[in-house]
Amino acid sequence: MPNTASAKKRVRQTQTRTLRNKVRKSAMRTWIRKVKEAVAAGDQGAAQAALHQAYKQIDKAAKQSIMHANKAANQKRKLAHLVNSIG
């Protein structure tokens, strides 16, 4: 348990940031799942729309250091390849 005021504040800040990061990561994963579901259904239009939103979420996560920039690039590449495999 923290004893000093600054340590207590640091715990509060960490809890707030952790919660915020969980929300952002969850949103990103949701859009990635929607892309994969649209590809599985064979719906090119829905897959393209979901891919656009997934790109936004992945880029935001990378910008905010929720995920590494290289991992974000790899994930975007894989999703694009998946969507292009429909046509």
Question: Could you tell me the residue ranges of all domains in the chain?
Answer: 5-84
28 sits in the region (left: phi over 0; alpha: psi -120 to 50; else beta) called alpha
Report the alpha-carbon distance of residue 58 to residue 69 in Å, rounded.
Answer: 9
Report the alpha-carbon distance of residue 49 to residue 10 in Å, rounded.
Answer: 40
CATH number of this structure's domain 5-84:
1.20.58.110
Whole-model pTM over 0.95: no
Model confidence at 87: pLDDT above 90: no
Q: Which of 86, 84, 76, 85 is nearest to 32 (CA)?
A: 76
Model confidence at 15: pLDDT above 90: yes
